[in-house]
Each structure stands twice: as C-alpha cells, then as structure tokens.
Amino acid sequence: MSTSAVGPPAPAPVEGARARRLTEWVFRIRELGIVVALGLLILVTAILEPRFIEADSLRNLALNASIFAILAAGQTLVIVTRNVDLSVGSVLGLSAYFAGDLLSSNPGLPLPVVFLLGMGLGAVCGLFNGILVTWGQVPALVVTLGTLYAFRGLAFLWTDGSQVNAETLPDAFLDLGTDSILGVPYLVLIALVVVLAVGQWLRDFRSGRELYAIGSNPDGARLAGVRSDRRVLTAFVAAGALAGLGGVLFTARFGTVDATAGVGYELTVIAAAVVGGVAIFGGTGSVYGAALGALLLGCITSSLIVLRVEAFWQQAAIGALLLIAVALDRFLGLRIDTALRRRSARRAG
Amino acid sequence: MLADAATSEPSAAPSAAPAAGATPGARVRGVLGRWEALLIGLLVITFVVGQGLSTEFLTADSFTTGSLDLSEVAIMALALALVIVAAEIDLSIASVLALSSAVMADLWNRGLPLELIMPICLVVGGLCGAFNGVLVTRLGLPSLAVTIGTLALFRGLAFVVIGDESVTDFPVSWTDRAFGNFAGTFVPNTMVLFAGLAVGFGVLLHFTPFGRSVFAIGANEEASYFSGLRVKRIKLILFVMAGIVAALAGIIISLRNSTAAANVGQGFELTAVTAVLLGGVSIFGGRGTIVGVILALLLLGGIQKALLLSESISSYWIQIVTGALLVGSVLGPNLARRVSETRRRRSSQSQHPEEGHP
C-alpha cells in the first residue's frame, strides 16, 4: 500500500526528483478526484433540488463538515506514520464536556483560555496514547481501542449522568458555533485555518515529511536518523489536541453536551481520511485530502437528506464510498509502483 | 494488521522456549508464565473482589444474567479470534449481526416460518463474510480499511431492509429457547451453544492442519505461501466463518430480546476485539489460543457483573477497567521482556566486557 512519498532509492538525484514529481502528481490527481466527485454530487443534487445550493443549506453543510475536517487532519498525521487513533471520539467527548462545564461555572473566563485548556486536555490524552505506543511498544490499534473505552468511561464518571445546557453557556461562546463573518461561519474559518496550517506542516516541513518516512518504512527511517519515537509522539499529541479543539467547537455548536458527545466519531473520521486518499498502512496521503474526504462524506449525508432519499441509505453509501476509495488507491498504488520501477529499470539499463 | 517489524511479536519466545526438553521447574514456570495462567489469576481476583462488593456476585442467578448479556459478543469473538490469528481483522461483525437481525425481521413480516428464515440469515452472513474476504484476498486491500467500510455498508443495508421498524412478535417457543436455561440448570441455552462452538473452533484452530496453517499464515504469510499453503483461500474461509457466526449471533440477539431491528449490537465489534486481544491473541497474528479468549470473556463478564451489582462503585468504571486491561495485556509482557533483556545484556556484558555495546 505504501506508495511512498519518500520513494524507493532512486539511482540518481535527477531520477529521484522525477519520481517525487510523479508521486506529487498522483497526490494532486487523487485530491482532484475528490473535488470532482464533490462538484458532481453538488451539481446533480442542485439540479434535482435547487434548494440544495441556497446559502443556508450550504452553510449547514460546511458547519457539519468542519469539526470532522479538524479531526480528520489530526487523524491523518497519525495514520501517515502507520499508526491509528481510535480514541478521537472519546477525547472529543471529554473535552466537549470539560469546556461546557468550565464555562457554565465560570462564565467570565476568556474564550481563548477555554480553547487552550480544551486543546491541552486533548493533548494530554494524545500524549498518553503516544507514550504507550512509542515507549510501551504497544500497537496503536490496541492502545487507542483501550483508551477509546477508558476516556469515555472517564467522561461518564465525570459527568455522572448530568449534562451541560446551552442556557448556562455565555452567548459569546455559542455565537462562535453559529455566527458568521462576511457570510463565512467562524467554525468554518477555524477549520480552514487548522487544515491549512497542519497540511502545510505535513507537506513542507522537515518534521512533517519525516512522518511519511516513518510510515513508508519504519526501520529505514530509523536507520536514516529520523527520531521516530519523538515524531510519532508528536503526531499523537497533535491528533489529541485537535480532537480537544473539536470538542470545544462541538460544545459551541450544539450547546447541550453530555458524556456521549462524539460517540462513534472515530470510524467516520478514519473513513474521511481514507476516502481522502490517506492509506491505512501509512506513508501516503495529505491533510487536504482528508479534509476534502470529510467534506465529501458530509455532503453525501446532506444531499441524501435534501433528495429525501430514505435516510437509511446514508450509511450504506458512506461504506460503499470508502470501499471504492480503498480499491481505487490500491489500483493507483500498483500503477505508480510499476511506473517507478520501469523508470529506474530504464535508467539502469 | 498494522504490522510493524520493529515492535511485532513481543512474547512469542517465552511461551515457545520451555516446550522442548526443559527441566520440570522450567516447565512449570513455562505453564504458569503463560498468558492463560495470568488470566486465571485475574479471574480469581475478580471473583474475590466481586464477592466482596456484593454477596449476590457468586450466585447461579448472577451467572445466568451476566452470561446472557455477553452471549452474542462471546460467540462472535470465537470466529474473530481465528481471523486475528491469521493477522487480519474483521470490524464488520456487529453490522453483519444487525443485517441478519434485519433480514430476519423482514422475512418474518413477509410470513416465512422461522425454520426457513434462520438458514437464510446464516447464508446472508456467509455472503457478507465472503464479500469482505474477496476484497481482502483477491483485491489485496487491507482488512482494517475494508471492514471499516463494510461496517458502515452492512449496517446501512440493515437499515435499508427494515428501516427503523422492529419486529417483536416472534413465537414464544423460539424466544424461550434463546432466553431460557439448559435442561433445568442455571446455564443459559446460549452458553451451551457457545460452549459447543468454542469446542468446535478450539479443535479447528489447535488440532487440525487447517488451524496450523492459520497460525503459519499469521506468523509469516509469505513463507506460508511459498511452502504451499493456499493463503488466500484459507483467509477467505475465515472471513466467511466470521460472517456466518455473526449472523448466528444476530438470530440469537433477536430471539433473546424478542426484538429484531437494524440498530442492535452497535459497538459489539470493539468489545469482541477487546475480548480476543485480552485473551492473548496477538494483533500481529500467529499467536493465541481459544482457551485464552474464553478466559478473557469470563473476565470481562465477571468485571461487568461485579461492577453492575456493586452499590459503592459506579458502573462507569466498567469501561475504564476494560480499557486498562486491554492496554495492560500487551504492555505488561512488553515491559517484562524489556526488563529481562536489560538484565541479560548486563550479565553478558559483565562476562565479556570487551564485547559490550556502548
């Protein structure tokens, strides 16, 4: 599966650059594919039901996808390193209740502090996961399946069946989840900034590129001097912090929060990343793709609702889309592997 | 699975080492050091603590209700264990369970007799498993991604089949059979079925050539392929079995609750995976026993029941304890191995100081 961004050892620097250009190109084609699918989906839905492209409906669509896009960005960092974080839904639940509880008991608290604390709580959860994965050498699937339960249990213990109601939250906070600036909701703006920042870091920074190296070839990366454990830890902490941010935004958007906030989100988030071209075995994919994947999944849900297709088809459609995406990636991966091999063979012979 | 060469197979060595020609002492240590022994120890602790929390814990009644609640997960965990031993995973089993329940409801509404419906459900489950298996083996897709996809797909299809309706008018003769106890004892019928399946899967995994090849595939797929095992076919069979067993669990849960609907068993896949991993089956494949899985199920059920019965401890602790056990089940052996490795290195360094690594 690893159509590595780092690539097999190229015989010459020129060839390496060319190989890298080829992989970059495939990345872009892959993202373009989702954009085209999104465009087609919106177009078809709009033709069948013009109300779909009214501002209100599009705004709702973007709002719904925003939190998932943020979570998918974090998940991408982890999956690219050939790990996985199943605990994001539980972390979101913890931090959502934390933010709500904090604000309803101290309404005067400055909002940036609430955001920082929520993200901090998420980062601590991520750190816990990361330490168990790197230092404890426990597979990420096992660790985060365990903490999926443990963090959710903590949330239940903490809330003890109670919930935070919208009336007890300050208006300025709730406005964040619903209000817009120049027609663009704050929530969407925040998601855009996060996706661009994380995406750029993963794409262009050395520490970001090293995540691909780790995911493509863990041993190779270590031998090449990549500080794997530290990078993987960073990825988990970042994913946790982003899930924490998602939790605070969840509270701002929905107002009413109990211990069940975000139950089952983990699978949707992973589905969004995989649909967006992030290979489950690491080494491939981009944050932008994952965010587009989240948007596409949200869009399918909305358009099925608008078209009054029975809501029951939603889940089936998402599952089918995921399978198609995985199969497509496999096909593309095989093609690019062959292309790279043929190039280096031609070069050598 | 997320195979990582550097961290894979942490504790295969300790269980294999004492087998051949060891001293009696080492053999005892080998048996006691095994995962199953640890699980038995934890079980005993659970029983003692559980009895301390509530005098109702060690009663026939609490076993009956506790084991009934876990019936479906227990049955699905058996087949899932084989899939995980072969280094694959199936997260779609709970959705197959739901689809089977939905198909059952729909066909019952159409007036088919239950005796005909149940085999049809099993066939549906088998087809679901075959779908997973074909995608994994023939298209070469990772089973984690495939079964996350079919988790949504099969659950979605269940809703397509029956919507948000539910069927509750199954004949009492059948619901009694699923809910009742075996021949006047305190053991539920579902547990008798589980025991039968456990023996079947245990024999299949541990005492047949098929089972040996499942272990071989899990330990080293490529080597198995080159030594002539039909890797793809065996994996396909495992997925089909997981599907059929999940469909059976769907029939049981529908009859046991006398409710068939598309939303049954949400999240069961994670509980089943937890039981299998806690039972000592390696997530990287190639290692594990059915006995371990049974003990893990007993442990999970025991903890659940103890915390539910207890008045002083919140039942929310169930999730925290489950999660901690799951992580601890892999972390513990890892740390023990690391400690013993450090000790060995230190002792070999003191014997050959010139060869010591810096």
Position A9 pLDDT exceeds 50: no
* A142 contact residues in B (CB cutoff 8 A): 277, 283, 326-327, 329-330
In chain B, % of residues over pLDDT 70 = 89
Q: Which residues of A111-148 are buried (b: 16+ CB within 10 A; e: fewer)?
A: eeebbbbbbebbbbbbbbbbbbbbebbbbbbbbbbbbb
At A96, which CATH number? 1.10.3470
Tens of pLDDT, residue by residue over B337-350, are 888 888 888 888 77
Q: Name the most confidently modeled range: A34-48, A185-199, A333-347.
A: A185-199
Identify the domain containing residue A73 by its residue range: 13-348
Which residue of A79, A314, A323 is the best one to mutate when testing the B interface, meaning the one whose CB has the most B CBs within 10 A?
A: A323
Domain count, chain A: 1
* Domain ranges (residues) in chain B: 71-290
3-state secondary structure B293-311: HHHHHHHHHHHHHHHHHCC
Q: How far is B92 from chain A (nearest CA, A)?
A: 11
Which of A130-139, A316-325, B213-222 shows the lowest per-residue confidence on average (mean pLDDT)?
A: A316-325
Among the partner-chain residues A149, A157, A218, the one whose CB lies closest to the CB of B5 is A218
Whole-angstrom Cα distance, residue A258 to residue B318? 18
Whole-angstrom Cα distance, residue A299 to residue A65? 8
Tens of pLDDT, residue by residue over B269-320, are 888 998 999 998 988 899 999 999 999 999 999 988 888 888 778 878 888 8
In chain A, % of residues over pLDDT 70 = 92
Distances (CA, A) of A116 to A87, A120, A247, A310, B300: 20, 6, 12, 41, 37
Position A211 pLDDT exceeds 50: yes
Using CB atoms within 10 Å of the CB of residue B206, give its burial: 0 to 12 exposed, 13 to 18 middle, 19+ buried: middle
| Any domain includes A5 | no
Among the partner-chain residues A156, A218, A323, the one whose CB lies closest to the CB of B149 is A323
Q: Taking CB atoms and an 8 Å limit, are B153 and A150 in contact across chains?
A: no
Q: What is the mean pLDDT of residues A261-277?
A: 89
| Any domain includes A2 | no
Q: What is the mean pLDDT of residues B99-103?
A: 96
CA torsion, ordered B120, B122, B124, B126, to nearest 10 deg: -140
Whole-angstrom Cα distance, residue B135 to residue B127? 12
Position A317 pLDDT exceeds 60: yes
In chain B, % of residues over pLDDT 90 = 53
Q: What is the mean pLDDT of residues A93-105?
A: 93
CB B304 within 8 A of CB B92: no
> Is B335 part of the contact surface with chain A (CB cutoff 8 Å)?
yes
Q: What is the pLDDT of residue A91?
A: 97
CA torsion, ordered A66, A71, A76, A78, to nearest 10 deg: 170
Position B3 pLDDT exceeds 50: no
Position A21 pLDDT exceeds 80: no
Q: What is the pLDDT of residue A291?
A: 95
Phi, psi of A164 (to 5 degrees): -95, 130
Among the partner-chain residues A140, A153, A320, the one whose CB lies closest to the CB of B2 is A140
Whole-angstrom Cα distance, residue A253 to residue A19? 44
Position B28 pLDDT exceeds 60: no
Average predicted confidence (pLDDT) for chain B: 86
Q: What is the pLDDT of residue A243?
A: 97
The pTM of the full predicted model, rounded to 2 decimals, is 0.84
| Any domain includes A4 | no
Position B212 pLDDT exceeds 50: yes
> Is B300 part of the contact surface with chain A (CB cutoff 8 Å)?
no
| Any domain includes A316 | yes
Q: What is the pLDDT of residue A279?
A: 87
Q: What is the pLDDT of residue B182?
A: 85
Whole-angstrom Cα distance, residue B266 to residue A264? 9
Q: Which tokens hold the place of A346?
A: 């031609």
Q: Which tokens hold the place of B43?
A: 């079980």
| Any domain includes A8 | no
Radius of gyration of chain B (CA): 22
Residue spans of alpha helices (H) in chain B: 12-16, 24-32, 35-53, 60-85, 93-109, 114-137, 143-162, 172-179, 189-207, 209-219, 221-226, 231-256, 268-278, 290-309, 317-351
Distance of CA A251 to the CA centre of its chain: 19
* A326 contact residues in B (CB cutoff 8 A): 141-142, 145-146, 149
Q: What is the mean pLDDT of residues B252-281?
A: 91
Q: How far is A215 from chain B (nearest CA, A)?
A: 10
Among the partner-chain residues B151, B163, B314, the one whose CB lies closest to the CB of A319 is B151
CB B258 within 8 A of CB B167: no
Of A23, A18, A146, nearest to A87 by C-alpha is A146
Q: What is the pLDDT of residue A244?
A: 97
* Residues β-bridged to residue B131: none
Tens of pLDDT, residue by residue over A279-307, are 888 888 899 999 999 999 988 888 888 88
ipTM of the complex: 0.80
Those residues with Cβ within 8 angstroms of residue A227's Cβ, 6 or more apart along the chain or in another chain: A210
The secondary structure of residue A54, as a DSSP letter, is S
Whole-angstrom Cα distance, residue A241 to residue A243? 5
Q: Taking CB atoms and an 8 Å limit, are B6 and A218 in contact across chains?
A: yes
Tens of pLDDT, residue by residue over B102-154, are 999 999 999 999 999 999 999 999 999 999 999 999 999 999 889 989 998 99
Whole-angstrom Cα distance, residue A267 to residue A87? 10
Q: What is the pLDDT of residue B19?
A: 41
Distances (CA, A) of B96 to A174, A323, B3, B162: 40, 16, 26, 14
Whole-angstrom Cα distance, residue B31 to residue B139? 41
**Quick one: closest CA in A to B266, which residue?**
A264
CB A165 within 8 A of CB A37: no
Whole-angstrom Cα distance, residue B105 to residue A119? 45
Residue whose pair of structure tokens reads 């932008």 in the numeric block: A288
* B164 contact residues in A (CB cutoff 8 A): 312
Instruction: Give the pLDDT band (50/70/90) at residue A6.
Output: very low
Residue whose pair of structure tokens reads 């047949």 in the numeric block: B208
Q: What is the DSSP string of B226-260?
A: HTT--HHHHHHHHHHHHHHHHHHHHHHHHHHTT-E
CA angle A149, A155, A157 (to 5 degrees): 100
Q: What is the pLDDT of residue A238?
A: 97
**Quick one: closest CA in B to A148, which residue?**
B323
Phi, psi of B178 (to 5 degrees): -80, -25
Distances (CA, A) of A90 to A244, A263, B264, B323: 10, 7, 21, 12
Whole-angstrom Cα distance, residue B63 to residue B187? 8
* Residues β-bridged to residue B166: B261
Residue spans of alpha helices (H) in chain A: 13-48, 55-80, 88-105, 111-134, 140-159, 171-178, 186-204, 206-216, 218-223, 228-254, 265-275, 287-306, 313-348
Whole-angstrom Cα distance, residue A323 to residue A169? 41
H helix or E strand, kind and range, residue B166: strand B166-167
CB A26 within 8 A of CB A285: no
Distances (CA, A) of B169 to A262, A274, B91, B114, B158: 34, 41, 30, 12, 19
Instruction: Give the pLDDT band (50/70/90) at residue B25.
Output: low
Q: What is the pLDDT of residue A193?
A: 96
Position B20 pLDDT exceeds 60: no
Phi, psi of B238 (to 5 degrees): -60, -45
Instruction: Give the pLDDT band (50/70/90) at residue A23.
Output: low
Whole-angstrom Cα distance, residue B188 to residue B162? 29
